[in-house]
Structure formats: C-alpha cells, structure tokens
C-alpha cells in the first residue's frame, strides 16, 4: 500500500469519527442549520459548495482519462460532502496499480 493510500484512509477514518460524533450530537439538520444564521456561516457553506462542485467537475473529467466511473462518487458527494472525493481518491489509488501493470 502506498503512503498516499494510507493517508487517505486515515483522513477518512478521522473525518468519519468526527461526522458520527456531530450526527450523534446535533443530527443531520443540526449540522446544516447554523450555516443559515449569519453571513459568516453562510460564507462557509458557500465555500464548501463551491469546493465540492469543483471536486465533482474534476472527478468527471478525471474519470474520462482514468477509466474510473465518477458518478457514484458524485452522488456520494451530493449526499455526504467530502466523503465522495475522498472515496474517489481511494478508488483511484486502488486502480493505479492496475493501470501501471497494464502499461508495462
């Protein structure tokens, strides 16, 4: 396993734990609600939407060149946020050895 793969797994696990704790504390709507209470919090939500939209466009473009179907990860992004791009990167890492072996 590559270092990049292990780092991605550590980020997913750490972010997953934080997400479970947040959901247990305030629920799904409780995570979203504060972003509509002030312009500052709305700016954070807008920033997240922009960043995840860019990630979705990148996944679709990268999927064409890597041969990886990006659509399940785009849907996952729409439902769970950053988990979509994180799992896309994991899938890309898992596919990378196959691409490297096929080119030799």
Q: Give 54-63 pLDDT, tens digit per residue.
A: 999 999 999 9
| Count of residues in the chain | 104
> Domain-by-domain residue ranges, the chain?
3-102
CA distance 26 to 76: 21
Q: Give 50-102 pLDDT, tens digit per residue.
A: 999 999 999 999 999 999 999 999 999 999 999 999 999 999 999 886 555 55
pTM for this entry: 0.87
Q: Give 9-33 pLDDT, tens digit per residue.
A: 999 999 999 999 999 999 999 999 9
Residue-wise over 44-81: b if at least 16 C-beta within 10 A, else e?
A: eeeeeeeebeebbeebeeebeebebebeebbebbeeeb
């Amino acid at each position: 396993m590559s270092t990049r793969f292990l780092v991605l797994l550590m980020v997913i696990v750490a972010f997953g734990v934080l997400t479970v704790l947040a959901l247990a504390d305030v629920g799904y709507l409780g995570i979203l609600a504060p972003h509509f209470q002030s312009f500052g919090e709305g700016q954070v939500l807008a920033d997240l939407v922009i960043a995840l939209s860019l990630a979705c466009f990148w996944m679709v473009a990268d999927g064409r060149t890597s041969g990886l179907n990006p659509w399940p990860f785009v849907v996952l992004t729409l439902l769970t946020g950053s988990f979509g791009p994180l799992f896309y990167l994991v899938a890309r890492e898992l596919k990378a050895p196959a691409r490297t072996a096929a080119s030799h």
